[in-house]
Every structure is written in structure tokens, then in C-alpha cells.
């Protein structure tokens, strides 16, 4: 048999091996053609009496990441087209039939009468792992890189090719739901312990292990197709079921605030499926899959968190004419919390780091942060002592600027004071090679202004990390007025090397992320002043999809810093640029009450030693009016939180701070956790329709003030019936923000 | 439209709903039979006049399943022509059974109907009948399902009832129940449960702890804190009422209704049917109502349904002499009194389920009888009976003596 994507060979024993190895790709992916060929392989194995059974393995360095999500996007587009031309009913029927093909193919494999085994090395995720789950035997390699899992939930989908049903029949219901909810990538031994795979073997023995299983008479009947099969947790309606389901439903709400239809569909599909025989269970799963696949949330999340993020990670904004930079050594100035974090992620990526502070002790203290982070990894079994030693050996803690001479890139993370910055810029540039790039991690000072202290502003750029550096996946790369394309290329190459996602923004106060965050925090302050109960402000913000309430967030950042920024803005831009009542609130808290935030144990919250933080009861005194909670429109509060940020994002586009909607969306989710189910700030607007958004913003402006007034760009877009993504698709890809 | 009258009421004593409870050895059928038989015998009832037996039962499975009302009617020798139907509206089932009986009479289709209820919580177990509401994700999420105790803590938190408020209420319930028993206020209605030899198994509510005081209750740990936090229900409560930062877990075994076994029966009929049976009516069922209420708070239905039933009856709170609201949890009663600014001296005057227990399907019929006895004893006229209900509902009835 000849296939394009598989090598198919049968040995003398009658054992067939289908080696998945797609031409011209580094990674196997499920495409319509792969599905066709796999179907043919299944039929061949089923019908050829000389074949005893079949092993599916990969010819690549890794198994497969699953289905081609753009194929699913294509299905959605076809549905939309059919709905227009043939009507909704036909379109849905067609969509259902198409979207369950993979599930049907796997079921056919599982019930074709011949045993199938999957021999897996490397990552095997999503639809690929669902293929493995449909096989009667699964062996994975013991390699460090091997991972199995069903991460669909992370892009607003769920495993719709039998994943929910097979996982729920392999383990206790509570464990199955947790696995499906989290979408984690699971290591080999854990996978075996969970019952997801049958065996773990060295990489060069996986196919042999599968063969041994076949030779020993491996069964062609899945456990759930055996007579008398019992679900591991027994019946849904049983005392055991009563322990699981009510809590699972509540935990779903706790984790999602009911914003993620895919997660609820997992619950419902497992609940219904466990009460049905396998074929019907799969049919029901397919019904939910078709529904979720057509959901606004899935479309938005696939676009932002998969397609756009991948494009940005691959350097969508990188100037193509600059050859790739191989960064060997990076200087980090300032060994405080940010600097120490930057040193860690840089060294973790294999680069040498020169970590400089005013004294060797201060620099060593920053280096100790890496020691701690690596030790935590070792404790969790994710790293070895040797990894820590090697990483620490890459970091030179010093007070000697002369050591910057071999650095390709120097990033400053010193105190946010223009004078201090100017001094380190001068000292660093004196030591740096002429072609090396200087980057500032400032979050408040305009890059163009700082570049004024530089002798080589073309090589000066902003690389803005988020805190904590080791956790936050976004980096804002900020272009000063004179920043050159090589500086941009080097910055993006660096961000890629540390495996974070870059967005490229133009220089402006607060850049992109922080201005949205400030609008969000301010909205929390406004609500407090209006008399909304403080807990409601915080809870409703999370219900709207934000990871942290605005008052909590403000406490983390520090209230005095918020006040400082406000005062600076007032001084530099004018009193009309700030909200006087907000200033009054912060002055009251910071200057009159000494409440600075988490750092001094009192802000909007009290932080008792060793106890849980609680909202400061004194907030009630600061509220001149208090609203009756039962009369407050909670849906409107939610809207205010999201709209105020989305408006700020739209203004950033209008002011050309942001030039690509993908960056606004990805940046908003990775940078400040903007309600991921919306797909990001601009997808939120597009998703509702610009005209509807403008109407909503106008209504909010009328009720709550000018800050909700839609900007001119939005008004124009509403008139022209366009959207951020539609208008961006018209333009050629931009190389440089401008 | 014929009026529906109450001719009589009986109930069993309530046995502790555990294997060491006095009624644990008594089957659900025997419990229901005891109440129906007593009703027949003490009224010398010509059961040929009975058109139906409606019994509430909240977990109608196993021995309580398959229409326990018909089995009990047959077993209590009502004759094969008396049918039976079992209904379920969770905790109000017993009152709803009486209301359904009244509705049959008022509609003119039936003349005499027995309403009542039965629950052997020690034998069948609470929650044994399952059901989609807490389990099937779509409705559990949509309705903010949480266990009743968590909802009760939510009510306490939202409306500001402290642990002390709830404990003080519980102490008072115990005191009132003890005094009522001491003075024989329940004597008229309680019929002992006996074994096959006629030996008395229980003739008194077994769950009561008359000596209970504040220090004793202070020893008890909150019952629903762990479940609320581990099971995710705190977050559900807060999503529904986001002005709350954290739940105040005030309820425990001592200020919540007791788990008990018991049965009750109420004889309802038209004036004409009573005359045929040679019986004198004790009260008229003036109005009844059902309502759905906010499902996360779940147990505030009595407030909503009271407004509704008063309006239907053309009455005001001032027209009601006594209020009987099921003591599912202390906060339920405290919220009810707060909402209507009621004098506690008019509410649950002889104690309630915190002291004596709450045999789910039977309670509604029991407390209706309790307050009827009290009206007669004190010469008062009108009473409003109401219960809170799972999934956010309320049932109420207004009775007046004739």
C-alpha cells in the first residue's frame, strides 16, 4: 500500500506498522487527507487476513500535535456559507456530519476487529492522542520530551473525537473531568499511573513493545466494548455519583463563572455519555462538539490563542531583511525583582547573563532569585540539580560595567527615575560593543525620551516585561521614534529565544497593556465611589472574565505608585487628563491613611500575617453613598469592566500605538488576562459588532461619563460596517509599526 | 366553588433519623399506615366516602417508591376503592399534599380526600432518589445549585444573621417545643407508633434536646463550611450574590432541622362530605399558593409565597394570628421574620423542626396540624403555614377556624 502521509509495511509475522510521516512538514497534523489515508489503512488491516494487527507510530521527532485548527476554522466558514445559501437547518446538519468524521473514523478503527496499538514518542496531543485512545494498546517512550494530553479546552474547544468518552471510561469521573478541564500535557509515568497509556518504554523499544503486545494476543476489543464493562466510578446516579457531580458542576462555575461553553460541554457530554453505550455516547459527544465548534468563544479563542499567537511567536512582526541574531550574552542592569527575573529567563534559555547592580552583594541577591526558582523546579521534579548548577554558572553577578563588552544585548531594569536611567545608559554604552542593542524595561517612561540619553538611539528599544517575569508570557517591544529595524529584529529574536510572545507597540504613555490596565483599575475606583459594595466590584470583575479584581490588582501594583503615575500625568499632560475623584480617593488612602497596598500589608485589602486577605472594612467610610446590592445591574458592571478596556485598546489603535489587531488581542490576554473567552480586547468589539459596541459605549457614556465615549475610529468603523480584523486583512503585512 | 374543610389531623411522633432511632425498624409503609389508620379509627371514618389519598414523599424510591400512597391506603384498610397518589415538591410535599386534596374538593370533582406525607429518612436516606437538578450540569449550573445548608449560610450572610442570632433562635425552638410537650399541646394529634403486638415503639418526638443552651451550641462546628469550600459551592453562592466577600458559615446540627422519621395525615372534605361522615369541620382552608423564588438563596420562597397567598386571600399580615414556617434552618425563619417585621411571639409558638425534626415529605402536614391545634387551644382564628423548598420554591396555606 502506498500513502503520501504514512509508510505502511507488514512484516513476516503479519504485523503492520503505519508510520505517520507527512512530507514537507516538521510535525504530523491531522488533515482531511490524513483522515482519508488512515481510513484506508484501517480497512486494509480489517480486511487483509494476512494482517494480524497494526501499530501506528510517527516517523518524525515527535508524534503529532493533533488536528489542524485551521481545518476546523474552515469547517466553520463552510457552515456560515451554507447557512447563507441553503438555510440554517441544512447547514447545521452538514456541519454535524462533517465535524464528527474524525470521531467516526476512530470508532471504526476501534471496532474493526483487528487490534491497533499506538507507539508514541514526543508530544501526542489533542486529536492525535484521541487516535491513540481509540487504539487498543498505547505505549509511550520514557523520553523527557514525551507528553500526552487533550489541550483543546485552552482554545475554547473540547476533545470531540471520542476523548471525553474514552478518558471518562479509563479513570474515576472526578479525575477524568479534571484532566479534560485542565488540558495539561502529561508526562509518561504520570500517563501510565492515570491509566491513559499501558506501557512506558525506551524510545527505540516502543514499536517492539507494541509488537510484543500483539504477539501475546492483544485484544481487538476496547474495555468499554467488553460485555459487563463497568465505568470506573460506577453509575452516574449512585451515591458515588452524588459525591462527584454536584461538586464538579460547582467547580466548573468557580473556575469559569460560566463563561466557557466548551468546559460546560465537557461536563454535559461526560454526564450523558456515561449513561449510554459507547456508540451513542460518541454521537452525543459529537453533537456537543458541533455546537461548541460553532460558538463565538471557540472562534475567538482559536484565532487569538492559537493562530495569532503562533504567528507572533514565529516573528510575524520581525523585519525580514535583518539576518537572525544569535544572542550569546545578555547584560541585565539592576538586580531587583524585575532584573533578577529577566536574568533567570535569559539564563534558562541558555544565554550567558551579566547581572549588574551597584554592589556585588546586590547583584548576588538578584542571582539568588534564580537559585530559588530552580530549586522550586527541582522540588517539583521538573529539573535536576545539574540543571540548576549549569544555569547559575551562566549568570555572572557583578558591579563591573566593563563585563558588558561582549554582550549582544543589554536590558536595563533599574529604578524608574530618568536620572538613574540616564546614568546607567551612559555607563553601559561606554562599555558595550558599538553594534550591541540597548533595551529599557521601563513601564512608565517614554522610550523616545530615554533614547535621548543614548549615543545610538537607532540601537535603543523598549523590552517591557510583565511581573512576575518567569510566569508572564507577554513582552511588549516598544519602538522609540529613532529605533532602527535591527534593534527590533534583535529584540524579537531575544523574545523568541526566551520563548515568550512579543507584541510590537509604538511609544506612548502606558504603551498598550498598562493603559488598558489603568482604565480597568480606575473603573474599580469609580464603582467604589458610586457606592457599589467593594466585594461586588472584585467578584463581578472576575465574573466578567478578569483574573484579578481591580482593587486587588491595584494593591499588588501599589497604591502609592498608582497615585504617583496619576500625579505625573497631571503634571505633564494637565489636570484634565486625570480623574480628580480618583486622585482624591488615592490621596485619602495613601497620604491620609498610609495604605500603600500589599507591600505594607494594607491597601484596599488588609493582609493579616499568615491569614487570608480581606477587604478593608474602612472602605465603607470612604463611600459617600451605598447602593443596595439587589438593585445593582450586575450585567452592566461586567460590561463596564470589559468595555472600558476595549475602548482603551481601540484608542491605542487609533493613536497607532498598536498597529495589528492580533497584537492587541494576544497582548490583552497574555499581558493582563483580559477575558480570554472573548478572544481579547478587539475581538470583544468585533465579536459583538462594532456598531453594537459603539451603541453600548454611548449608552454607558451617557450614564457613567465621558470615559466611555467611543473614539472617532470606532464611530467610523461602525458607519462603514467594518471590523478590526476585516480592516486589517485589507492591508499588507506591516514590517514596522508606524 | 365548594369550600375545603379540615376535619382532622394526626401525626406520628418523630423518631431520630438514624439507625439508633426508635422508628428505624419501622418501614415507610408502616409509618404511613399508622397515620392513615389513626385518622380512620379516631373519626370512625366511613372510608367509602374517601375519593383519594395524596401523600408527600421526597425520596420515593425503594420501599418508599412506586406510589406509597396507594400501598398505605390499602394497608390501612381504607378499602380497595380508595386510590392513592404520591407527590413530591421536596420539603413542602406534606403541605402540598393537603393543598392538592383541598384543590380536588374545591374543584368539586372529589368530596373527601386525605392529604399527608411520610418519610423514613433513616431507612431510605436523604437524596436517595437522585434527580437532575444537582447532577445534570446544564441545570445545576443554570440554577446555581448548592446544598441547602450552603444556601442557608448564604441567607445568613446576605441578611446579616450571626451565629449567635441563629443559635439563640435554636435555643428558643427547643424551649418552646419542650414546653408544648410538657403541657400536652400535641396530645390531640400525636398517635404512637407500635409494633405488631401493639407495644409502643415511640410516643414522643425523639429528636428534642430541651436543655440546649447557647454554650452547648457554641461547641458545634459549622456543618457546611468544608463542603462549601472544597465542593466549589461558596463560589457558586458568591457568583449569585457577588456583594458577598466570603460566606459566614453559621449553621450546624443544632440550629438546623433534625433528620427524622415520621408520617402525618389530614382529612379534607367539603361541608357536605363532612355531614355524610358525621364529622364537624375544624377549620377552612382559605387559600393556598405556590411560587418559585431565587434559586441560589433557595430557601426564601416563604417570603415570596406569603405575599402571594395573602394577596390571593385578600388579607394582610395583620389578619394572621399565628405563623408556622418550617424551621429548615434558623436563618430561614429569621429572614422571614425580618422581611415582614414579625413579632417572634406569633411565629412557631410551639417550636419547630430545629427541635423536633423535619421528616421531609410529612412536615408540611405536621405543622399544619400543629398550628391548628394551637389556634383551637388559644381561641385564635387564622394561621399561615409555609415552607421553604429546594431549588427555590415556596408553598403556603392560610387556614381559619370555623
- Looking at the partner chain, which of B127, B134, B243 has a beta carbon nearest the beta carbon of A629? B243
Both A506 and A521 in a single domain?
Answer: no
Mean pLDDT of A143-159: 95
- For cell 501599589, the residue is A558
C-alpha span between A493 and A327 (Å, rounded) = 8
Q: Are B135 and A538 inside 8 Å of each other by CB?
A: no
Which residues lie closer than 8 Å to A368 by C-beta, 6 or more apart? A340
Both A560 and A695 in a single domain?
Answer: yes
Both A426 and A356 in a single domain?
Answer: yes
C-alpha span between B64 and B73 (Å, rounded) = 14
Instruction: With H, G, I as helix, E, B as strand and everything else as coil, classify residue B385.
Output: strand
| Contact between residue B364 and residue B117 where contact means Cβ atoms under 8 Å apart | yes
Both A623 and A597 in a single domain?
Answer: yes
> What pLDDT score was predicted for residue A672?
96
Q: What is the pLDDT along chain B (402 residues), one digit of tens a residue?
A: 999 999 999 999 999 999 999 999 999 999 999 999 999 999 999 999 999 999 999 999 999 999 999 999 999 999 999 999 999 999 999 999 999 999 999 999 999 999 999 999 999 999 999 999 999 999 999 999 999 999 999 999 999 999 999 999 999 999 999 999 999 999 999 999 999 999 999 999 999 999 999 999 999 999 999 999 999 999 999 999 999 999 999 999 999 999 999 999 999 999 999 999 999 999 999 999 999 999 999 999 999 999 999 999 999 999 999 999 999 999 999 999 999 999 999 999 999 999 999 999 999 999 999 999 999 999 999 999 999 999 999 999 999 999
State the pairing for strand pair A395-398/A352-356.
parallel
The per-residue pLDDT for range A278-296, each reduced to its tens digit, is: 999 999 999 999 999 999 9
Which band of pLDDT confidence, cut at 50, 70 and 90, is reported for residue A69? confident
State the pairing for strand pair B193-194/B283-292.
unpaired
The total number of structural domains that make up chain A: 3
Q: Which residues of B touch A258 (CB under 8 A)?
A: 141, 239
Mean pLDDT of A305-334: 94
Residue A252 lies in a domain: no
Both A496 and A595 in a single domain?
Answer: no
Which band of pLDDT confidence, cut at 50, 70 and 90, is reported for residue A219? very high
Residue A235 lies in a domain: no
Q: Looking at CA atoms only, how far is residue B203 from chain A in angstroms?
A: 33
Both A478 and A566 in a single domain?
Answer: no
Question: Is residue A325 scored above 90 in pLDDT?
Answer: no
> What pLDDT score was predicted for residue A732?
43
Q: Are A268 and B138 inside 8 Å of each other by CB?
A: yes
> What pLDDT score was predicted for residue A103?
98
Mean pLDDT of A654-672: 97
Q: Are A257 and B239 inside 8 Å of each other by CB?
A: yes
Domain's final residue, options A460, A486, A511 = A511
Instruction: Tell whether B301 is within 8 A of chain A (Cβ).
Output: no
- Count the Cβ atoms, other than its own, within 10 Å of residue A417: 10
Q: What is the DSSP letter of A9?
A: E
- For cell 518524525, the residue is A60
For helices A513-530 and A559-573, the axis angle rounded to 10 degrees is: 110
pTM of the model: 0.94
Question: Is residue A412 scored above 50 in pLDDT?
Answer: yes
- For cell 379509627, the residue is B41
Q: What is the CATH number of the domain that holds A62?
A: 3.90.226.10
Q: Are A246 and B145 inside 8 Å of each other by CB?
A: yes
Which residues lie closer than 8 Å to A730 by C-beta, 6 or more apart? none
Residue A186 lies in a domain: yes
Instruction: Tell whether B5 is within 8 A of chain A (Cβ).
Output: no
Instruction: Tell whether B136 is within 8 A of chain A (Cβ).
Output: yes
- Looking at the partner chain, which of B141, B233, B242 has a beta carbon nearest the beta carbon of A264? B141
Residue A559 lies in a domain: yes
Which band of pLDDT confidence, cut at 50, 70 and 90, is reported for residue A734? very low
Both A504 and A522 in a single domain?
Answer: no
> What pLDDT score was predicted for residue B105?
98
| Contact between residue A503 and residue A336 where contact means Cβ atoms under 8 Å apart | no
Both A535 and A466 in a single domain?
Answer: no
Both A498 and A519 in a single domain?
Answer: no
The per-residue pLDDT for range A446-468, each reduced to its tens digit, is: 999 999 999 999 999 999 999 99
C-alpha span between B177 and B203 (Å, rounded) = 15
Instruction: Tell whether B238 is within 8 A of chain A (Cβ).
Output: yes
Q: Looking at CA atoms only, how far is residue A422 from chain B in angstroms?
A: 46
- Looking at the partner chain, which of A236, A250, A538 has a beta carbon nearest the beta carbon of B232? A250
Q: Looking at CA atoms only, how far is residue B60 from chain A in angstroms?
A: 15
Which band of pLDDT confidence, cut at 50, 70 and 90, is reported for residue A569? confident
Residue of A nearest to B245 (CA): A535
Phi, psi for A26 (deg, rounded to 5): -85, -20
Both A617 and A643 in a single domain?
Answer: yes
Interface of A with B (CB under 8 A): 236-237, 241-242, 245-254, 257-258, 264, 267-268, 271, 533-536, 538-540, 543, 614-615, 629, 632, 634
Which band of pLDDT confidence, cut at 50, 70 and 90, is reported for residue A74? confident
Residue of B nearest to A266 (CA): B137
Which band of pLDDT confidence, cut at 50, 70 and 90, is reported for residue A733? very low
Which residues lie closer than 8 Å to A92 by C-beta, 6 or more apart? A79, A83, A290
- Dihedral, CA of residue A511, residue A516, residue A522 and residue A524, to nearest 10: -150
Alpha helices of A531-618 — where are they, by DSSP H? 534-543, 550-557, 559-573, 580-587
Shortest CA distance to B361 belongs to which of B400, B329, B387? B387
Domain's final residue, options A486, A511, A536 = A511
Q: Are A534 and B238 inside 8 Å of each other by CB?
A: no
> What pLDDT score was predicted for residue A728?
67
Q: Are B145 and A250 inside 8 Å of each other by CB?
A: yes
- Range from A410-424, A596-610, A724-738 carrying the lowest mean pLDDT: A724-738
Domain that holds residue A418: 329-511
Q: What is the CATH number of the domain that holds A403?
A: 3.40.50.720
Question: Is residue A255 scored above 70 in pLDDT?
Answer: yes
Q: Which residues of B does the annotation mark as catalytic?
A: 91, 358, 388
Q: Which is higher by pLDDT, A75 or A123?
A: A123
Residue A322 lies in a domain: no
Percent of chain A with pLDDT over 70: 98
Both A535 and A477 in a single domain?
Answer: no
Q: Are A271 and B137 inside 8 Å of each other by CB?
A: yes
To test the contact with chain A by mutation, choose from B133, B242, B339 the residue with the greatest count of A C-beta atoms within 10 A, namely: B242
C-alpha span between A620 and A632 (Å, rounded) = 17
Which residues lie closer than 8 Å to A621 by C-beta, 6 or more apart? none
* CB-count exposure of residue A580 (10 Å: 0-12, 13-18, 19+): exposed
State chain A's mean pLDDT as an integer: 95
Residue A288 lies in a domain: no
Q: Are B141 and A540 inside 8 Å of each other by CB?
A: no
Residue A320 lies in a domain: no
Inter-chain contacts counted by CB atoms under 8 A, chains A and B: 95
C-alpha span between A102 and A85 (Å, rounded) = 26
> What pLDDT score was predicted for residue A729?
58
Instruction: Tell whether B239 is within 8 A of chain A (Cβ).
Output: yes
Instruction: With H, G, I as helix, E, B as strand and everything else as coil, classify residue A116.
Output: strand
Question: Is residue A738 scored above 50 in pLDDT?
Answer: no
Q: Are A247 and B140 inside 8 Å of each other by CB?
A: no
Both A538 and A652 in a single domain?
Answer: yes
- Count the Cβ atoms, other than its own, within 10 Å of residue A711: 18
Question: Is residue A737 scored above 70 in pLDDT?
Answer: no
Residue A610 lies in a domain: yes
> What pLDDT score was predicted for residue A73?
79
Domain's final residue, options A492, A511, A530 = A511
The per-residue pLDDT for range A360-379, each reduced to its tens digit, is: 999 999 999 999 999 999 99
Query: Chain B 32-71, CB below 8 Å of chain A: which residues?
Result: none
Q: What is the CATH number of the domain that holds A636?
A: 1.10.1040.50
Residue of A nearest to B231 (CA): A247
Residue of A nearest to B147 (CA): A246
| Contact between residue B35 and residue B267 where contact means Cβ atoms under 8 Å apart | no
ipTM of the complex model: 0.95
The per-residue pLDDT for range A496-533, each reduced to its tens digit, is: 999 999 999 999 888 999 999 999 999 999 999 999 99
Amino acid at each position: 500500500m502506498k500513502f503520501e502521509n504514512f509508510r505502511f509495511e507488514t512484516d513476516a509475522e503479519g504485523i503492520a506498522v503505519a508510520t505517520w510521516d507527512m512530507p514537507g512538514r516538521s510535525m504530523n497534523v491531522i488533515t482531511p487527507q490524513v483522515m482519508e489515508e488512515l481510513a484506508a489503512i484501517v480497512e486494509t488491516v480489517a480486511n487483509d487476513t494476512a494482517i494480524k494487527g497494526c501499530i501506528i507510530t510517527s516517523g518524525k521527532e515527535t508524534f503529532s500535535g493533533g488536528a489542524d485548527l485551521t481545518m476546523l476554522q474552515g469547517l466553520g466558514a463552510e457552515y456560515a456559507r451554507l447557512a447563507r445559501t441553503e438555510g440554517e437547518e441544512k447547514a447545521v446538519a452538514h456541519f454535524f456530519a462533517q465535524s464528527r468524521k474524525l470521531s467516526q473514523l476512530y470508532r471504526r478503527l476501534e471496532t474493526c476487529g483487528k487490534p491497533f496499538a499506538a507507539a508514541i514518542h514526543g508530544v501526542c496531543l489533542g486529536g492525535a492522542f484521541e487516535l491513540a485512545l481509540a487504539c487498543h494498546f498505547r505505549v509511550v517512550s520514557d523520553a523527557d520530551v514525551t507528553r500526552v494530553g487533550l489541550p483543546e479546552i485552552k482554545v475554547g474547544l473540547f476533545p470531540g473525537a471520542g476523548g471525553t468518552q474514552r478518558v471518562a471510561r479509563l479513570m474515576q469521573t472526578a479525575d477524568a473531568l479534571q484532566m479534560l478541564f485542565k488540558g495539561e500535557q502529561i508526562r509518561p509515568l504520570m500517563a501510565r499511573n492515570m491509566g491513559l497509556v499501558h506501557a512506558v518504554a525506551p524510545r527505540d523499544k516502543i514499536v517492539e513493545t507494541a509488537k510484543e503486545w500483539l504477539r501475546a494476543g492483544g485484544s481487538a476489543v476496547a474495555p468499554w466494548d467488553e460485555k459487563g464493562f463497568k465505568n470506573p466510578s460506577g453509575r452516574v446516579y449512585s451515591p458515588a455519583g452524588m459525591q462527584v457531580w454536584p461538586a464538579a458542576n460547582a467547580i466548573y462555575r468557580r473556575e469559569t463563572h460560566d463563561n466557557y461553553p466548551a468546559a460546560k460541554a465537557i461536563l454535559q457530554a461526560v454526564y450523558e455519555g456515561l449513561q449510554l453505550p459507547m456508540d451513542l455516547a460518541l454521537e452525543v459527544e459529537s453533537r456537543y462538539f458541533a455546537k461548541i465548534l460553532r460558538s463565538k468563544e471557540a472562534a475567538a479563542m482559536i484565532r487569538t490563542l492559537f493562530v495569532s499567537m503562533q504567528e507572533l511567536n514565529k516573528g510575524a512582526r520581525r523585519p525580514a531583511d535583518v539576518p537572525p541574531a544569535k544572542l550569546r550574552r545578555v547584560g541585565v542592569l539592576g538586580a531587583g525583582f524585575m532584573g533578577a527575573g529577566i536574568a533567570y529567563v535569559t539564563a534558562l534559555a541558555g544565554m550567558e547573563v551579566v547581572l549588574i547592580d551597584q554592589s556585588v552583594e546586590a547583584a548576588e541577591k538578584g542571582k539568588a532569585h534564580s537559585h530559588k526558582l530552580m530549586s522550586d523546579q527541582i522540588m517539583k521534579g521538573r529539573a535536576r540539580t545539574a540543571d540548576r548548577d549549569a544555569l547559575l554558572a551562566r549568570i555572572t553577578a557583578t558591579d563591573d560595567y566593563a563585563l558588558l563588552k561582549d554582550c549582544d544585548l543589554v536590558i536595563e531594569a533599574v529604578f524608574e527615575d530618568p536620572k538613574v536611567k540616564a546614568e546607567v545608559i551612559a555607563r553601559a554604552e561606554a562599555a558595550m560593543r558599538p553594534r550591541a542593542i540597548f533595551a529599557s524595561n521601563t513601564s512608565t517612561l517614554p522610550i523616545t525620551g530615554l533614547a535621548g540619553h543614548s549615543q545610538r538611539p537607532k540601537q535603543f528599544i523598549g523590552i517591557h516585561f510583565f511581573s512576575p517575569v518567569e510566569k508572564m508570557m507577554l513582552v511588549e517591544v516598544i519602538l522609540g521614534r529613532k529605533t532602527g529595524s535591527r534593534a527590533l529584529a534583535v529584540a524579537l529574536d531575544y523574545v523568541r529565544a526566551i520563548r515568550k510572545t512579543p507584541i510590537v507597540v509604538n511609544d506612548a504613555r502606558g504603551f498598550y497593556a498598562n493603559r488598558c490596565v489603568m482604565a480597568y483599575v480606575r473603573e474599580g475606583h469609580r464603582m467604589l465611589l458610586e457606592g457599589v459594595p467593594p466585594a461586588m466590584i472584585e467578584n463581578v470583575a472576575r465574573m466578567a472574565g478578569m483574573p484579578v479584581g481591580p482593587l486587588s490588582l491595584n494593591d499588588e501594583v501599589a497604591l502609592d505608585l498608582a497615585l504617583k503615575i496619576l500625579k505625573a500625568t497631571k503634571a505633564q499632560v494637565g489636570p484634565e487628563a486625570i480623574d480628580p475623584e480618583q486622585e482624591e480617593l488615592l490621596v485619602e488612602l495613601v497620604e491620609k491613611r498610609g495604605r500603600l497596598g500589599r507591600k505594607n500589608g494594607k491597601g484596599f485589602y488588609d493582609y493579616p500575617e499568615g491569614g487570608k486577605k480581606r477587604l478593608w472594612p474602612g472602605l465603607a467610610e470612604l463611600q459617600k453613598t451605598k447602593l443596595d446590592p439587589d438593585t445593582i445591574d450586575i450585567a452592566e458592571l461586567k460590561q463596564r469592566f470589559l468595555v472600558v478596556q476595549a475602548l482603551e485598546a481601540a484608542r491605542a489603535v487609533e493613536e497607532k500605538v498598536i498597529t495589528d489587531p492580533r497584537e492587541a488581542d494576544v497582548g490583552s490576554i497574555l499581558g493582563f488576562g483580559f477575558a480570554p473567552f472573548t478572544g481579547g480586547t478587539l475581538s470583544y468589539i468585533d465579536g459583538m459588532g462594532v456598531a453594537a459596541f459603539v451603541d453600548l459605549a454611548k449608552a454607558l457614556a451617557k450614564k457613567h461619563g465621558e470615559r466611555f465615549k467611543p473614539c472617532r475610529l470606532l464611530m467610523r468603523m461602525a458607519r462603514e460596517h467594518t471590523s478590526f480584523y476585516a480592516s486589517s486583512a485589507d492591508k499588507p503585512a506591516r514590517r514596522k509599526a508606524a | 366553588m365548594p369550600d375545603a374543610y379540615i376535619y382532622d389531623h394526626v401525626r406520628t411522633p418523630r423518631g431520630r433519623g438514624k439507625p439508633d432511632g426508635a422508628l428505624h425498624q419501622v418501614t415507610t409503609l408502616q409509618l404511613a399506615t399508622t397515620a392513615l389508620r389513626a385518622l380512620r379509627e379516631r373519626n370512625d371514618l366511613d372510608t367509602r366516602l374517601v375519593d383519594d389519598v395524596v401523600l408527600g414523599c421526597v425520596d420515593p424510591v425503594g420501599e418508599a417508591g412506586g406510589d406509597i400512597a396507594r400501598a398505605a391506603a390499602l394497608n390501612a384498610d381504607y378499602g380497595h376503592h380508595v386510590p392513592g397518589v404520591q407527590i413530591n415538591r421536596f420539603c413542602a410535599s406534606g403541605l402540598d399534599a393537603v393543598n392538592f386534596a383541598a384543590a380536588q374538593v374545591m374543584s368539586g370533582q372529589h368530596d373527601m380526600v386525605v392529604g399527608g406525607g411520610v418519610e423514613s429518612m433513616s431507612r431510605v436516606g436523604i437524596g436517595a432518589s437522585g434527580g437532575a437538578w444537582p447532577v445534570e450540569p446544564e441545570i445545576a449550573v443554570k440554577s446555581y445549585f448548592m446544598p441547602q445548608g450552603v444556601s442557608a449560610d448564604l441567607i445568613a450572610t446576605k441578611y446579616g444573621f450571626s451565629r449567635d442570632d441563629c443559635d439563640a433562635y435554636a435555643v428558643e425552638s427547643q424551649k418552646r417545643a419542650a414546653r408544648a410537650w410538657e403541657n400536652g399541646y400535641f396530645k390531640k394529634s400525636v398517635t404512637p407508633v407500635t409494633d405488631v403486638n401493639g407495644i409502643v415503639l415511640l410516643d414522643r418526638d425523639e429528636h428534642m434536646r430541651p436543655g440546649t443552651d447557647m454554650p452547648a451550641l457554641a461547641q458545634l462546628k459549622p456543618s457546611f463550611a468544608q463542603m462549601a469550600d472544597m465542593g466549589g459551592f461558596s463560589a457558586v453562592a458568591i457568583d449569585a450574590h457577588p456583594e458577598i466577600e466570603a460566606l459566614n458559615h453559621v449553621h450546624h446540627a443544632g440550629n438546623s432541622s433534625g433528620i427524622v422519621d415520621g408520617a402525618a395525615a389530614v382529612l379534607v372534605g367539603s361541608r357536605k362530605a363532612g355531614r355524610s361522615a358525621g364529622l364537624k369541620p375544624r377549620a377552612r382552608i382559605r387559600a393556598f399558593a405556590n411560587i418559585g423564588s431565587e434559586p441560589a438563596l433557595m430557601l426564601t420562597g416563604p417570603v415570596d409565597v406569603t405575599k402571594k397567598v395573602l394577596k390571593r386571600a385578600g388579607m394582610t399580615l395583620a389578619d394572621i394570628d399565628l405563623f408556622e414556617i418550617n424551621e429548615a434552618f434558623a436563618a430561614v425563619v429569621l429572614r422571614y421574620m425580618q422581611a415582614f417585621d414579625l413579632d417572634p411571639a406569633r411565629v412557631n409558638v410551639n417550636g419547630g423542626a430545629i427541635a423536633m425534626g423535619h421528616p421531609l415529605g410529612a412536615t408540611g402536614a405536621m405543622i399544619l396540624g400543629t398550628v391548628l391545634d394551637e389556634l383551637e387551644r388559644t381561641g385564635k382564628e387564622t394561621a399561615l403555614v409555609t415552607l421553604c423548598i429546594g431549588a427555590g420554591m415556596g408553598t403556603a396555606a392560610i387556614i381559619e377556624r370555623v
